[in-house]
Amino acid sequence: SQKIEQNSEALNIQEGKTATLTCNYTNYSPAYLQWYRQDPGRGPVFLLLIRENEKEKRKERLKVTFDTTLKQSLFHITASQPADSATYLCALASNSGTYKYIFGTGTRLKVLA
Amino acid sequence: DGGITQSPKYLFRKEGQNVTLSCEQNLNHDAMYWYRQDPGQGLRLIYYSQIVNDFQKGDIAEGYSVSREKKESFPLTVTSAQKNPTAFYLCASSTVDSGVTEAFFGQGTRLTVV
């Protein structure tokens, strides 16, 4: 069955450092990979989308890579700030015409001041 | 303001009762989704709909039912057949006319069985 793995342990980093979160998947060939931010008690908010034919995507301090050979995506936040503390979810979707998003378990990031 | 609205924010249900969670969107999105989130876990898909009057089961549809009579609305009923309904429920919507795009989420409904 399709499986998405994100590091379930919380990631603590110092302010100003780069945070790197990992999303691995198996038994799936997604055409799209997305990253969302979720704050406690709230719905996820979309951050970035990357397609299978794209290696890297950037938006301000965020960078996403997508390696379909390794079946892995890396999500980087540069110059991290305490306000970046949240849970980050990766989501996969195919291009089969069924617009169904499959989510990982999320990684909780805490940026220490 | 365009967006997706879930209500109520908190819901308490007695065992054996059915309850309906509301989800309304004014984004003119064709697709709508219901997810369940348990503590420390990701989002699990319950049902999704890509067009009015049509919907498909997700990975954990047992004990739930939905309807899609209007484009704007996708209510979820948690039936008494759902063995462990206490969870955080999230509704989302997206467009379908230009490939996969971002999903917009509501603020969620926290359901507690008492």
Q: What integer is the mean pLDDT of B57-76?
A: 96
Cβ distance B100 to A46 less than 8 Å, yes or no, reads no
Look over chain B and give the mean of its residue pLDDT values, rounded to a whole number. Answer: 92
A45 part of contact set with chain B, CB < 8 Å: yes
Q: What is the pLDDT of residues A35-56, one digit of tens each?
A: 999 999 999 999 999 998 898 9
Tens-digit pLDDT profile for residues A62-110 = 999 999 999 999 999 999 999 999 999 999 987 666 668 889 999 999 9
Residues facing A59 on adjacent strands: A62
* Pairing verdict, β B104-105 and B87-94: antiparallel
Chain B 15-74, residues with CB within 8 Å of chain A CB atoms: 31, 33, 35, 40-45, 48, 50, 56, 58
Q: Which of A42, A46, A104 sits opposite B102 (nearest CB)?
A: A46
Question: How far is A63 from chain B, CA to nearest CA, in Å?
Answer: 17
pLDDT at site A15: 97
C-alpha A54/C-alpha A63 separation (Å) is 12
| Record: contact B100-A105, CB cut-off 8 A | no
Q: Is B52 exposed, middle or buried (0-12, 13-18, 19+ CB in 10 A)?
A: middle
pLDDT of B6 strictly over 90: yes
Residues of B in contact with A46 (CB under 8 A): 102-104
Residue spans of beta strands (DSSP E) within B8-74: 10-13, 19-25, 31-37, 43-51, 54-57, 64-66
- Whether residue B43 contacts residue A43, with contact meaning beta carbons closer than 8 Å, is answered with no
Cα separation, B49 vs B33, whole angstroms: 6
Helix (H) or strand (E) holding A89: strand A86-93
Residue B1: per-residue pLDDT: 61
Is any Cβ of chain A less than 8 angstroms from the Cβ of B111?
A: no
Contact indicator for A51, A73 with CB cutoff of 8 Å:
no
- Residue A8: the pLDDT is 75
Written as one letter, the residue type at A56 is E
pLDDT computed for residue B36 by the predictor: 97
Cα separation, A81 vs A79, in Å, equals 7
How many Cβ atoms are within 10 Å of B110's Cβ, its own excluded?
A: 15
